[in-house]
Every structure is written in structure tokens, then in C-alpha cells.
Amino acid sequence: MNADPTILLTALGQELLARLAAEPDSGGLALAVRLRREYPADLVAAATAQHELRLAARAKFSRAADMLFTRSGYEQSSSEPIARYRAERFGDARRVADLCCGIGGDLLALAPGREALAVDRDEVHAQLALHNASVYGETENVRALVADVRDVNLADLDAVFIDPARRSGPGAASAGSGTASAGLGTASARPHAASSRAGTASAGSGAASSRAAAAAAGSGAASSRAAAASARGMSGSPGTAQRFRAGLSEPPLDWCFALADRVPAVCVKAAPGLPLDLLPDGWEVEFIADGRDLKEAVLWSPALATAPPADSGAPRRATVITGTGPRTLVAYPGDPVPVTEPGEYLLDPNPAVTRAGLVEDLARALGSGAGVGRDDSGCVDHSGCVDHSGCVDHSDGVGHSDGVDHSDGVGHSDGVGHSDGVAKIDPRIAFLTLDWPAQTPFARTLRVLDSAPWNEKRFAKRLRELGIGAADIRRRGLAGDVDQIHRRLKLAGPNRGTIVITRVNDKPWGLICTDPGSTQHGENEPAKRH
Ligand SMILES: C[S@@+](CC[C@H](N)C(=O)[O-])C[C@H]1O[C@@H](n2cnc3c(N)ncnc32)[C@H](O)[C@@H]1O
């Protein structure tokens, strides 16, 4: 149970937080004892817990040291780089609402330059959202409302962002701090009329919750699609099937989609395991990864959808947040990508690319030199490049793709991608192979030292010859316990490597790889073929 952090908004609370921040050993017992002599015990407990949350939150927010969190609110919050990237796609929308605002991870990015209404039925979260927005200098333009989002008047808004709470099963509690109550004093001037149901909407129980359960189990196209998808389970997001079962968000996804009937532009944040057939016509799905960590699926209503349609189904986009900003990949139509045995380099696509079903598009974009790594004259890092069908570097956060116009001359003028020199190693496995060391934000490049049909004894011997004593094993498309294989290989030696156990043309296959940036094994050693 979280201690209520709003007591820390008092002068005494702020003083205590400042003292903890200045302490080298803020978690020490002696300090806690000393502080409890000077301050009320509940304040010390809340401040100590808050201090720990702030330290953890540095991973997500540049101003974490001044923000306030509940534990659940922090865990569910969007990170600042992703929130800022998404907020840019709202373009010139001036009046926006952040529905289900939580502690305001998205609000702080949506608010600059806009009039923003933040709504949460959890009073503590609404209050923390206001506080956190003010930490980022957003005060006059931000209003908060304690209400069930279903009861909010959305008239006059240009756009709505909604990040519904994920539910783990029918009747599961929503993720708030469980303290929803009557209205929020700080949200006096409300730009949009709304009837606050706070007080009747206690988190995870009561009317709102039963409506959510009913909607999740309800009839209608979206619900039956959800039920069907739910029965199939979620591929592509191991371990998350239960958590991300379709329809089990609060409010449910079909309610979120219907917002587009009331507001010109809508963006819904969802779990990355979302079945794509749930998406209404004309909506774009964008998978966002922070580095190689797949974080979310973002669903853009037609007014905000800018990706071109992909091979099958909805317009799709894969976006990777890198150290130098977001990079985005959209469909790159063209010839089918051939299948060959692995060559000198193996590309392991980013999970956002794989999940978006854009692996072949990446192959074509690379093969066409479309700025994703063949020769960096392309759009890897130039700010004006927002019009590539295969690779969009969006310093403005917006990708526009017509599949044709490569204004900087990279790619093919006919807009048709040819995967020259880039192939798949199997029709169904998401690895690509090529003979040059591609540098792309959309995949990890590995140099192949050895490649042969998988035979554990042979590979154990070869690994010893190469002096590989530490290895990361990646298994894809084959069964087998990675830890047991690791033990049986009895690795020894000073070098590091990556062992890939997969299928090549449907045959069990092994590869020993190294990072091409590494100087181990001699950079120029050619790939040894079986
Ligand atoms: C996933 S969190 C939002 C996180 C937020 N985007 C951030 O970055 O900090 C979901 C929030 O939705 C709120 N919520 C769930 N159902 C709601 C409803 N029907 N009306 C209003 N708020 C709701 C919960 O209280 C919780 O704070």
C-alpha cells in the first residue's frame, strides 16, 4: 500500500524531502530514527518512500527529484522521452485532454504550448499530475479533474490522449492509489464542463468497475474480436498474455476507440501484445521501443494516422527511442525478400520492428540504401528528413510517407524497395542476413564467426577454439532450455560472443557471432561455413 504522498506537499513535507535528498545515506536506520524524533512518523514514512521512488524515477523523468509519485502511478507512467515523442505527433492541437492522466507522465509532455485538461478518477493521481506538470513549468494552462472519464464533457477539444489502466482479469482493481474521493481543490477553474463522479468511483470497485467488466464481456464487433483474440492468446509478447488480454483495460478499448466519434483526433496507449485485428479501420498502430525494450502500442485515430498501409492490415510504424532521439520505420513496399543461408552479418531486428511486422520492409529499406544503414548519406540523422517511406527521421516527431518521394535521393525513385544483398534466413524467422556491417537503429548487427546446422558437440568444440568463455544465447524458432544448453557447452576462454540457435530454411541452425564493434576474434576473420 502506498503512503499518500500528498501530505508531502506541505511545507514540513517539502523540508523533509529536501533533507533526505541532501543525505548521503538516505536509507540508513540511524537517519530514520533521528528524523522520527523531529517529524511525525507518518510524514517520515511517506518521505522515505517518496525519496526511493524519486531515485528510481530518474530512469524515466529528467526532473524526478522534484516530482511526486505513488508506486503504482510511477510504475504505469510513460517515460519522458516517449511521452514527448508522442506529444509531438499531436501537432497543432491546441486544446487537449489527458484522460486517465495518472501521475502526469504524459501530461507534462502534452501541456507545453497547449491548454490541457487532465482527468483521473483517483484524486491523489489527479493532484500529483498537477504538481508534476508544475515541476515542468506547466501551470496556468493545465487543469485537473477528479472524475470517471466517461462523465467528462469533451466538447471543444481538438484532441484526446488516453492511457487506460491495464486490468489483469475481470473485476481486477484499477491501478490507482485507491484513494479516489471528492473533488480536487486545486482544479477550480475547469475549462470543460464535467460532472465529477468522484466519491462513487472508488478505484477498481463499484459502478465504474462493473461497467468495465460488462464492456469487456459485452457483445458487438469489437468485443467479439477481443474475445476471439483473447482465446488465441498474445503471440509476440512472451509472459504478457494474461496482463494484456484484449478488452481488459479500464476503460475498455472499444470505449477508447469510440472517442473518435466525439473528438477530432484520438491517441490511445495500449499494451504491445494488442491483437492488431482489434484496430478500427483507418487507425495506425505504432510500436515503440526504448532501445530494445518494447514498451507500448500506440493507436492513432485517422486524423493523426500518418503511416502508409503495410503489407496486410493497418498502417503500421515501428519507433525506436535512441540516445539521439526517436527513429521511425514504416512500410517499404517492394519485391519479396529472398531466403538464404546466413552470410557475414546477422541482423536481429528491434522488437518494435518485429512486432509491427516490418522485418521485410527493413530488409528492402536497407537493400535500397534508404537511410537505415547502408551508407549513412541517408536519413539516419538529418533533421529535414521526414518523407521516407522506409525510414523517417523525425526531428518533428511526425512521419509522412507516400512510399515514393525520397527527397534526398536515397532509395528508389519508383518507391519500390529491392532488398539487394539483404535476405531472410528462414521464411518465418525474424533474422536478416547481409554481407556488410549495417548500422541501423532498427536492428542489432552481429558479425557471424561460424554458421552451421545445429550440433551441440560441434558448437561446443568451436566455441572453445574461439576462446569464448561468456556468451549470450539467443534461441528463436526452436525448443530447448537455454540455461541447460549454456551449461552443457562448458564455455571457456577470454572472449565474449553471442550464440544464436534458430532455424535456417526450416533446419535447426547455430551461429556464433560477435559484435562488429568488438576487436575480439580479429575483425576481418571471414565467416566459416559448414
Ligand atoms: C496507466 S495509468 C496512466 C498513466 C499516465 N499516462 C502517466 O504517464 O502517468 C491509468 C490511470 O487511469 C485511471 N483510471 C482508470 N480508469 C479510469 C476511469 N474510468 N476514469 C478516470 N480515470 C481512470 C487510474 O486511476 C490510473 O491513474
* Final residue belonging to a domain, choices 245, 267, 300: 300
Determine, yes or no, domain membership for 362.
yes
**pLDDT for position 3:** 59
pLDDT at 221 over 70: no
Q: Are residues 132 and 259 in the same domain?
A: yes
By the 8 A CB rule, do 270 and 309 touch? no
DSSP state of 277: G
Our measurement of the distance from residue 2's CA atom to the centroid of its chain's CA atoms, rounded to an integer in Å, reads 25
Determine, yes or no, domain membership for 310.
no
**pLDDT for position 132:** 98
From the CA of 462, how far away is ligand 1's center (Å)? Answer: 53
- DSSP readout, 3-60? --GGGGGSHHHHHHHHHHHH-TTTT-HHHHHHHHHHS-HHHHHHHHHHHHHHHHHTTT
Q: Which of 29-38, 100-109, 304-313 has the highest mean pLDDT?
A: 100-109
Residues with CB under 6 A from ligand 1: 76-78, 100-106, 119-122, 125, 148-149, 163, 165, 174-176, 203, 208, 250-251
Q: Ligand 1 pocket check: which of 77, 145, 174, 259 to mutate, most ligand atoms within 8 Å of Cβ?
A: 174
From the CA of 101, how far away is ligand 1's center (Å)? Answer: 5
Helix (H) or strand (E) holding 216: helix 206-217
SS3 145: strand
What is the maximal distance between C-alpha atoms in the chain? 75
**pLDDT for position 61:** 98
From the CA of 204, how far away is ligand 1's center (Å)? Answer: 11
pLDDT digits (tens, 9 = 90+) for 415-446: 556 678 999 999 999 999 999 999 999 999 99
The arithmetic mean of pLDDT across residues 356-378, rounded, is 75
- Which one is predicted more confidently, 368 or 341? 341
**Of 340, 343, 369, whose CA–CA distance to 440 is shortest?**
369
From the CA of 342, how far away is ligand 1's center (Å)? Answer: 46
Q: Which residues of 376-413 are buried (b: 16+ CB within 10 A; e: fewer)?
A: eebbbeeeebbbbbbbbbbeebebbbebeebebebbbe
Those residues whose C-beta lies under 8 Å from the C-beta of residue 374, and which sit 6 or more positions away, are 366, 367, 436, 438
pTM above 0.75, yes or no: yes
- DSSP readout, 218-243? --SHHHHHHHHHHHH--TTSTT-TTT
pLDDT at 227 over 50: no
Cα 273-479-272 angle, rounded to 5 deg: 10
**Of 24, 2, 306, whose CA–CA distance to 179 is shortest?**
2
The arithmetic mean of pLDDT across residues 242-263, rounded, is 82
pLDDT at 35 over 90: yes
Q: Ligand 1 pocket check: which of 63, 98, 120 to mutate, most ligand atoms within 8 Å of Cβ?
A: 120
Give me 485's grid cell: 544448453
Residue 314 pLDDT class (50, 70, 90 cuts)? confident
* CA–CA separation, 175 and 122 (whole Å): 9
**Among the atoms of ligand 1, which is closest to the Cα of residue 122?**
25
Q: Are residues 44 and 88 in the same domain?
A: no
Nearest CA to ligand 1 atom 18: 148
Q: Which residues of 239-265 are buried (b: 16+ CB within 10 A; e: fewer)?
A: eeeebbbbbbbbbbbbbbbebbeebeb
* CA–CA separation, 259 and 164 (whole Å): 13
DSSP state of 368: T
Give me 308's grid cell: 502508409
**Among the atoms of ligand 1, which is closest to the Cα of residue 250?**
16
From the CA of 120, how far away is ligand 1's center (Å)? Answer: 6
From the CA of 147, how far away is ligand 1's center (Å)? Answer: 11
Q: Are residues 290 and 159 in the same domain?
A: yes
Helix (H) or strand (E) holding 365: helix 359-367
Q: Are residues 123 and 172 in the same domain?
A: yes
The arithmetic mean of pLDDT across residues 398-410, rounded, is 29
By the 8 A CB rule, do 480 and 472 touch? no
Those residues whose C-beta lies under 8 Å from the C-beta of residue 456, and which sit 6 or more positions away, are 485, 488, 489
**Among the atoms of ligand 1, which is closest to the Cα of residue 100?**
12
Q: Are residues 163 and 21 in the same domain?
A: no
Q: Are residues 375 and 279 in the same domain?
A: no
Nearest CA to ligand 1 atom 14: 100
SS3 470: strand
CATH code, 177: 3.40.50.150
pLDDT digits (tens, 9 = 90+) for 101-119: 999 999 999 999 999 999 9
- Which one is predicted more confidently, 370 or 51? 51
By the 8 A CB rule, do 440 and 426 touch? no
Give me 462's grid cell: 568451436
Give me 396's grid cell: 518533428
**pLDDT for position 420:** 81
pLDDT at 468 over 70: yes
Q: Are residues 108 and 249 in the same domain?
A: yes
Q: Are residues 85 and 217 in the same domain?
A: yes
User: What mean pLDDT value characterizes the chain?
Assistant: 78
The arithmetic mean of pLDDT across residues 131-157, rounded, is 97
Q: Are residues 372 and 251 in the same domain?
A: no
By the 8 A CB rule, do 525 and 447 touch? no
* CA–CA separation, 243 and 268 (whole Å): 17
Instruction: For residue 109, list its beta bridge partners.
Output: none
First-residue to last-residue Cα distance in the chain: 58
Determine, yes or no, domain membership for 150.
yes
Determine, yes or no, domain membership for 524.
yes
Domain count, the chain: 3
**pLDDT for position 416:** 58
Residue 144 pLDDT class (50, 70, 90 cuts)? very high
- DSSP readout, 87-130? HHTTTT--EEEEES-TTSTTHHHH-TTSEEEEEESSHHHHHHHH
**pLDDT for position 246:** 52
Determine, yes or no, domain membership for 186.
yes
pLDDT at 521 over 90: no
From the CA of 90, how far away is ligand 1's center (Å)? Answer: 20
**Of 223, 320, 319, 328, whose CA–CA distance to 277 is shortest?**
223
Determine, yes or no, domain membership for 406.
yes
From the CA of 186, how far away is ligand 1's center (Å)? Answer: 19
Nearest CA to ligand 1 atom 10: 165
Q: Which of 364-373, 454-463, 515-524 has the highest mean pLDDT?
A: 454-463
Our measurement of the distance from residue 21's CA atom to the centroid of its chain's CA atoms, rounded to an integer in Å, reads 30
From the CA of 144, how far away is ligand 1's center (Å)? Answer: 13
pLDDT at 510 over 50: yes
Residue 452 pLDDT class (50, 70, 90 cuts)? very high
Q: Are residues 29 and 77 in the same domain?
A: no
Helix (H) or strand (E) holding 296: strand 293-300
**Among the atoms of ligand 1, which is closest to the Cα of residue 149?**
20
By the 8 A CB rule, do 103 and 68 touch? yes
pLDDT at 181 over 60: no
**By mean pLDDT, which of 38-42, 127-131, 189-193, 340-344 is the weakest?**
189-193
**Among the atoms of ligand 1, which is closest to the Cα of residue 105?**
8
Give me 407's grid cell: 527527397
Residue 413 pLDDT class (50, 70, 90 cuts)? very low
Give me 259's grid cell: 472517442
Q: Which of 233-247, 297-311, 384-398 has the highest mean pLDDT?
A: 297-311
Q: Ligand 1 pocket check: which of 76, 77, 202 to mutate, most ligand atoms within 8 Å of Cβ?
A: 76
From the CA of 45, how far away is ligand 1's center (Å)? Answer: 25
The arithmetic mean of pLDDT across residues 241-260, rounded, is 77
Cα 58-62-66 angle, rounded to 5 deg: 80
DSSP state of 189: S
Q: Ligand 1 pocket check: which of 106, 121, 200, 259 to mutate, most ligand atoms within 8 Å of Cβ?
A: 121
SS3 507: strand
From the CA of 106, how far away is ligand 1's center (Å)? Answer: 11
Residue 520 pLDDT class (50, 70, 90 cuts)? very low
From the CA of 75, how far away is ligand 1's center (Å)? Answer: 12
**Of 179, 250, 166, whose CA–CA distance to 208 is shortest?**
250
The arithmetic mean of pLDDT across residues 195-221, rounded, is 28
Give me the domain span that covers residue 25. Answer: 5-57
Q: Which of 34-48, 85-99, 176-190 has the highest mean pLDDT?
A: 85-99
**By mean pLDDT, which of 48-62, 211-225, 237-251 is the weakest?**
211-225
pLDDT at 232 over 70: no
Determine, yes or no, domain membership for 309.
no
* CA–CA separation, 44 and 94 (whole Å): 41
Determine, yes or no, domain membership for 421.
yes
Q: Are residues 458 and 374 in the same domain?
A: yes
Residue 225 pLDDT class (50, 70, 90 cuts)? very low
**pLDDT for position 350:** 98
The arithmetic mean of pLDDT across residues 321-343, rounded, is 95
**Among the atoms of ligand 1, which is closest to the Cα of residue 106?**
8
Q: Are residues 275 and 351 in the same domain?
A: no
Q: Ligand 1 pocket check: which of 79, 101, 135, 184 to mutate, most ligand atoms within 8 Å of Cβ?
A: 101
